[in-house]
Copies of this chain bind each other. A is one copy, B any other.
Amino acid sequence: MKLIGVDLGGTNIKAALVNEEGQILRLESVKTMVHEGKEEVCRRMADLINDLAGDEKVMVGIGSPGSIDRKNGIVKYANNLPVLSGFALTGEITKLTGFKTFLENDAKAAALGERWFGSARNTENFIVITLGTGVGGGAYTQGHLVVGGQGFGGELGHITVDPHGQMCSCGSRGCLETFASISGMRKRVLSYRQRYPHSRIFEMSGIDFDKGESELKKSGNIGAKEIFEAFEEGDRLATLVVRKFNWGLGIGIGSLVNIFNPEVVILSGGISQASHFFIDEVKQVAAEHTYLSLMGSYDIIPSELKNKAAILGAASVSLERTSS
């Protein structure tokens, strides 16, 4: 049976028709337009699914940000999609399409994608860390995705890496996300703006602090691309931020390895495509924080699924739930 994976985001809904080997046969995208309300969002998503399915019978998997009620197919809380909070999403999509539909947190879906289609096809013990706007992830141990009692576990981005570190959006301090996400790196870049006002990062982002602090309104322009390109040029602020990234991510991975004894740690999400800039140092820091009997027992690699990780992850949710 063919699959449809839906990557539900605050801005776009991407969906693809995928075969059971993980090949993307067709990919489509529409705007989410949350301001039009949940019924409209669902209608637009259902149209996309029906269009992709054509005459075929498919299974649908949706990867959504936020905390998920798997059993009932409800997005419980999602910062980016408040309009869907508490809404029985999969029921509505099934009603509109007639297809079996399954819901998973997007980062955990990415982990399942690695198991079904990616670098974790032959292991039951692995960790996926999604490095994007935030940090998410999934730990797959002894053949099970760790979700815990209510299904809200696996918040790998919010383990404490440095309790003296930068404040996190979650209200805690020094979470993995403050080191290894775009939002965390951006915040660190900005915190040093008075020391490095002429950093290439600001230049590339169209920000000129000689014009004053009002330039902060453009800080959303600062992304991983600008930071790693400036790093490549030897920019000092970028070097500082990338070193902190390496250090934080390495410590976080070390702790996760001590807990899970995985065979492989897979880095996914947008930043992972810049892994050639950081993976060697991350490996070294991780090894320094790994228990002796676990040293050398795992590898750290970027996802081979690259920018298809999210959509293939979503598609794989239906396979995971219907296999036993």
Binding site for B on A (CB under 8 A): 67, 76-77, 123-125, 139, 141-142, 144, 146-156, 158-164, 170-172, 247, 251, 254-256, 258-263, 288-294, 297
Contact = CB atoms under 8 A, between A and B. Distances in A.
Contacts of A154: 259, 261
A154 B256 CA distance: 9
A41 to B, nearest CB: 22
> Which of A147, A263, A293 has the most chain B CB atoms inside 10 A of its CB?
A293
A7 B199 CA distance: 60
A276 B255 CA distance: 29
Report the copy number of this chain in the oligomer: 2
Contacts of A77: 293
9 contacts: A67-B293, A124-B149, A148-B260, A149-B261, A152-B291, A153-B260, A156-B259, A163-B247, A170-B292
Given A146-B142, A153-B259, A158 B291 contact: yes
B259 A155 contact: yes
B158 A148 contact: no
Contacts of A251: 160, 163
Nearest to A172: B289
B171 A153 contact: no
A259 B294 contact: no
A254 B160 contact: yes
Given A164-B164, A172-B288, A292-B171, A297 B149 contact: yes
A146 B260 contact: yes
Contacts of A171: 292
Nearest to A146: B141
A161 B290 CA distance: 13
A124 to B, nearest CB: 8
A297 B291 CA distance: 30
In order of increasing CB-CB distance, the 9 nearest A-B pairs are A148-B261, A153-B261, A125-B149, A159-B255, A155-B258, A158-B291, A67-B293, A155-B291, A158-B258
B148 A141 contact: yes
A134 B122 CA distance: 35
